[in-house]
Amino acid sequence: MAKIKFGTVEEEVVTREEFPLAKAQEVLKDEVIAVLGYGVQGPGQALNLKDNGFHVIVGQRKGSKSWDKAVADGWVPGETLFELEEAAEKGSILQYLLSDAGQIAKWEMVKKHLKPGKALYFSHGFGVTFSDQTGIIPPKDVDVILVAPKGSGTSLRRLFVAGSGLNSSFAVHQDATGKARERCIALGIGVGSGYLFETDFRKEVYSDLTGERGSLMGAIQGLFAAQYEILRAKGHSPSEAFNETVEEATQSLYPLVAENGMDWMYANCSTTAQRGALDWWKKFRDAVKPVFEELYESVESGQETRLTIEANEKSDYRAELEKELNELRNSEMWQAGAAVRKLRPENN
């Protein structure tokens, strides 16, 4: 592993230079990788592995929209596309990429096909970490590993096609064969990771659930909504409020942060913007840090897991979820966003 300095902290990571694709192909040359689930992560990981020369099959419920998507993506029924149970039986590495609720529902079936020496692969530590709630306790004679791309499967695929990669964490929860770590890293390279950093299942799910509810989705929506609503209440037009809140951030400033960091973005803004940002960022940090403390404690205690499982078990969950999504979709801010996106030059 390569030693990289992150500020004053030194960390070991795995890069493509030290673990090239050819090595990953050699490690997994005799494996049949069964990707179980073709929803959020499944398509990107399965297609990237296939394009990288690995033996991949997909397991999905026949007749579902995801089955049809898999067929449209080139997976052939009876050859590379099977019902979930048949794929689980055929695979030597089972990439368990169903939703968290789906993993709970299908666990007994999958466990039945975890013969000694197989590997059980996750991209989220949820099921294993909170096994007291999910019931997912792998047999002792299989490898249990994790590769978690730091983004959606759509982004993983898009960056792979563009010749780039999405960074991923990796973890070995159980090494039954003595080859678990090598298998895990090879799969991380195979799915198209930019680089791999080591974690464990518990830390992965704690950071992931905190991030999703925080700066990746929940907090950012709350921040956008608060600023937009203030601007509208003070008499600004929907176009002005949306552009100053979201469009400038996502189309101009966030890409600069991605390219070179926050300090570089600050240095490439006006002196007025610099001064204001430097004066106010600590106030925002101090205001939201207690909320993040509360959020992390809720994740760590298993409360967020309980709420997620209970919500998914309700018979009307999908209908209620659609209502909540519609609240976002039909809000003035995101209606304004739809109008602004249509007006972008590339759409005209």
The amino acid sitting at 44 is: G
Parallel/antiparallel/unpaired status of strands 193-198 and 9-15: antiparallel
307, burial (CB in 10 Å: exposed 0-12, middle 13-18, buried 19+): exposed
Give strand pairing partners of 119. Answer: 93, 143
Is residue 121 within 8 A of residue 187, CB to CB? The reply is yes
Edge-first strand order for the sheet with 166-174 is 2-6, 9-15, 193-198, 166-174, 143-149, 119-122, 93-96, 33-36, 56-59, 81-82
Q: Which residues are catalytic?
A: 124
In 3D space, the residue among 210, 200, 233 whose CA is nearest the CA of residue 288 turns out to be 210
Structure tokens at 198: 């080591």
**Where does the chain show beta strands of DSSP type E?**
2-6, 9-15, 33-36, 56-59, 81-82, 93-96, 119-122, 143-149, 166-174, 193-198
The amino acid sitting at 96 is: Y
Q: Quickly tell me which residue has 């730091």 as its tokens.
A: 150
Measured torsion, CA atoms of residues 332, 338, 342, 345, in degrees rounded to the nearest 10: 90
Burial 54-80 (b: 16+ CB within 10 A, else e): bbbbbbbeeeeebbeebeebebeeeeb
**Contacting residues for 314 by C-beta, under 8 A, at least 6 apart:** 320
Angle ∠(126,207,143) on CA atoms, nearest 5:
45
* Entry field: residues in the chain: 348
46, burial (CB in 10 Å: exposed 0-12, middle 13-18, buried 19+): buried
